[in-house]
Amino acid sequence: MSKKTDNAVDWSQFMRIAKLSLPYKNKMALAIFLTLGIAILGPLRPYLVQYTLDNAINQLNQKELMLMSALIFLLLILQTVFQYFSTLLGNILAQNILFDLRKSVYKHLNSFQLQFFNKTPVGTLVTRSISDIETISDIFSEGLINIIGEALQIAFMLFLMFYTNWKLSLVCLSVLPLLFYASYVFKEKVKASFEEVRNEVARLNTFVQEHLSGMQIVQLFNRQNSEFEKFKNINQQHAKANIKSVLYYSVFFPVVEVISAISTGLLIWFGAKEVLMEQTSIGTLVAFIMYISMFFRPIRQLADRFNSLQMGMVSSKRIFALLDNTSEQETGGTTCTFKLEGNIQFKEVWFAYNENKPILKGIHFEVKKGQSIAIVGATGAGKSTIFQLLSKYFSIQKGSIFIDGRPIESFQAQALRQQLSVVQQDVFLFSGSIFDNIRLYRENISDETIIAMSKKLGAHEFISKLPNQYHEKVNERGSSLSVGQRQLISFVRAMVSDPQILLLDEATASIDHDTEHIIQQAISTMMQGRTSLVIAHRLSTIQHADEILVLEQGQIIERGTHQNLLLQKGIYENLYVNQFQDLT
* Pairing between β-strand 473-474 and β-strand 406-407 as defined by DSSP bridges: unpaired
- More confident: 491 or 580: 491
Q: Which amino acid is at 215?
A: M
Q: DSSP 3-state assignment of 401?
A: strand
With a cut of 60, say whether residue 464 has pLDDT above it.
yes
β-strand partners of 352: 358
pLDDT at 251 over 50: yes
Residue 550's closest CA among 517, 525, 575? 575
- Cα torsion through 373, 379, 382, 386, rounded to 10: 50
Residues 125 and 108 sit within 8 Å (Cβ to Cβ):
no
What's the pLDDT score for residue 5? 39
Mean pLDDT of 82-106: 84
The closest of 417, 439, 541, 418 to 489, measured between CA atoms, is 439
**What is the Cα–Cα distance from 182 to 172, expressed in whole angstroms?**
17
* SS3 label, residue 360: strand
Question: Helices then strands (H, E): number in the chain?
Answer: 22, 12
Name the phi and psi angles at 421, rounded to 5: -130, 145
| Strand boundaries in 84-200, DSSP class E | none
In terms of Cα–Cα distance, which of 387, 342, 340 is closest to 363?
387
CB 102 within 8 A of CB 185: no
- Position 218 scores a pLDDT of 66
Per-residue pLDDT band at 4 (split at 50, 70, 90): very low
565 class by beta-carbon count within 10 Å (0-12 exposed, 13-18 middle, 19+ buried): buried
All residues at 6 or more sequence positions from 167 whose CB lies less than 8 Å from its CB, including other chains: 270, 274
pLDDT one-digit tens code per residue, 333-377: 666 666 778 888 888 888 887 777 888 888 888 888 888 888 888
Our CA dihedral for 515, 518, 522, 524, rounded to 10 degrees, sits at 110
The pLDDT confidence band at residue 196, using thresholds 50, 70 and 90, is confident
* Three-class DSSP category at 551: strand
Mean pLDDT over residues 86-107, rounded? 83
Q: Above 50 in pLDDT, residue 313?
A: yes
**Residue 396: CB atoms within 10 Å:** 19
H or E segment at 348?
strand 344-354
Domains of the chain: 11-324 (1.20.1560.10), 344-583 (3.40.50.300)
Strand 357-367 and strand 344-354: the pairing is: antiparallel
- Work out the percent of the chain whose per-residue pLDDT is above 90: 0
Assess whether pLDDT exceeds 80 at residue 424: no
For 110, counting Cβ atoms within 10 Å of its Cβ (0-12 exposed, 13-18 middle, 19+ buried), the class is: exposed
- Taking a C-beta distance cutoff of 8 angstroms, is the pair 451, 439 a contact? no
- Give the span between the Cα atoms of 182 and 34, in whole angstroms: 30
Residue 475 φ/ψ region, left for φ over 0, alpha for ψ in the -120 to 50 degree band, beta for the rest: beta
Q: What is the pLDDT of residue 421?
A: 81
pLDDT attached to residue 2: 40
pLDDT of the residue at 275: 80
As a whole number of angstroms, the distance between CA 90 and CA 86 comes to 6
- Write the burial class of residue 422 (CB in 10 Å: 0-12 exposed, 13-18 middle, 19+ buried): buried
Strand (E) or helix (H) holding 534: strand 531-535
Q: What is the pLDDT of residues 8-26, one digit of tens each?
A: 346 677 777 777 778 888 8
Integer Cα distance of 309 and 142 in angstroms:
8
The reported pLDDT for the residue numbered 510 is 54
State whether residue 415 is helix, strand or coil. helix
Q: How far is Cα 390 from Cα 204, in angstroms, rounded to an integer?
A: 36
Among 308, 270, 389, 340, smallest CA distance to 94 is for 308
Segment of 223-237, 301-315, 555-569 carrying the highest mean pLDDT: 555-569
> What is the model's pLDDT at position 106?
81
- C-alpha pair distances (Å), 130 with each of 108, 262, 499: 14, 44, 35
CA–CA dist 249, 340 (Å, integer): 64
Residue 120 to residue 115: CA distance in whole angstroms: 9
Q: Report the C-alpha gap between 384 and 425 in whole angstroms.
A: 10
383 has pLDDT over 80: yes
| Averaged pLDDT, 41-50 | 83
> Which whole-number Å values give the CA distances from 203 to 80, 227, 575, in the listed order?
42, 14, 44
Query: What is the residue-averaged pLDDT of the chain?
Result: 78
Distances (CA, A) of 152 to 37, 72, 148, 371, 529: 10, 21, 6, 75, 74
What is the pTM for the complete model shown? 0.62
